[in-house]
Amino acid sequence: MSSREPTYGTDPRKLTRKGGMDTSKDAAEKVNSSRLEEEVYKVILGSGSRGMISDEVRNSMPHVSSYSSVTARYKALKEKKLIVATADRRPGVSGRNQSVLVASAYIRVPQMSISPWSFSKIKSFEQCARQFQHLKILKTYKESESEAMLYGTAFHTAAEEYIRDETPMPPQFAYATEALDNLNAKQGRKLCEFKMGLTENLEPCDFFADDVWWRGIADLVIIDEEEDLAWVIDYKTGKSAKYADKGQLELMALATFKFFPKIKTVRGGLLFVVSNELVKDSYVNLDQGHLWEKWLGGYAKMETAFDKDVWNPNPSGLCRAHCVVLECEHNGRN
């Protein structure tokens, strides 16, 4: 914790809306925002790493009868980086969940690192660097497994056991049997849930190696050494292939070339098992140079953001109700 005493208080002009009534302005002038901010902060600080929801803060300040006199302090304390609204939520008196407020002094920031990176990591950065910093580096939230995530995990496990061990598909996934049979019928060695790692010199390494720089897991790799050909397949449990992103296939193909140097062609496919669609692309080993140049450019942008500690937001329609970075000025819930 810093030894410097924070500066509390908010300019009364910021406490009223532009063009507001004179009575509102008079009320704002009478608010002792310095005292209230300090008190709210010290109440939250006193809760330690557990933090408090708004109802708990108000219950700790029974002498302040006005609801807004307490809740209006949160924004100023966030802007001064004294508290953080995490993505953890607990039910309030009404039964509705409220965000947990934690004093910044208790937000433990692990040693930040961009690598090892992956397709999902770079896509998250491109979507919004500020959200990427919050979710992937500061880790001020706990990831929860949605129903869709659990469904996808269960399918991947079933598909792996079906191809590798010939275990029958569970009834709820029987619809995908034909598509998996078509893949299984292809000539070549089948590698399920194949983990690949690359060093910064683009040399193959163990997925958990100390010098691993990039990581990727292919749902299915088929190596046909007779034809110098490989298939790289990723299962998708989404209902439509309309917005399929083949960048993942490209990275997996590049890694496959490194792990199997004799392979000259990689055929990639995103298998949308619900709609029975296969989004395909093909890559040849002679194209590795310019393909890596594109991905290394994306990695360099992440590295620059990390080195300069500058994480620019990318406002979109998702900011209003779906982003967990509540302290961002573009978040519609702050």
Q: Report the alpha-carbon distance of residue 87 to residue 67 in Å, rounded.
A: 23
**Which residue shows structure tokens 């040849």?**
284
Residue 71, CA distances (Å) to 58, 74, 85, 321, 334 in order: 8, 6, 13, 20, 11
The structural domains of the chain, with segments of one domain joined by +, span 12-106, 116-334
Tokens of 56: 């708990």
Q: Report the alpha-carbon distance of residue 105 to residue 36 in Å, rounded.
A: 19
Could you confirm whether domain 12-106 is CATH 1.10.10.10? yes
At 106 the three-state DSSP class reads helix
What are the pLDDT tens digits along the chain (334 aa)?
A: 344 456 776 654 444 445 554 444 444 444 457 888 999 999 999 998 899 999 999 999 999 888 888 998 998 898 888 998 887 889 999 989 998 999 888 876 544 567 899 998 899 899 888 888 877 654 443 444 456 677 788 999 999 999 999 999 999 999 999 999 999 999 999 999 999 999 999 999 999 999 999 999 999 999 999 999 999 999 998 877 888 889 999 999 999 999 999 999 999 999 988 888 889 999 999 999 989 999 999 999 998 988 888 889 888 887 777 777 777 788 876 6
**Third-level CATH fold of 116-334:** Lambda Exonuclease; Chain A (3.90.320)
Q: Report the alpha-carbon distance of residue 288 to residue 101 in Å, rounded.
A: 47
At 48 the three-state DSSP class reads helix
Whole-prediction pTM = 0.66
HSE at residue 328, side-chain half, CA atoms within 13 A, is 25
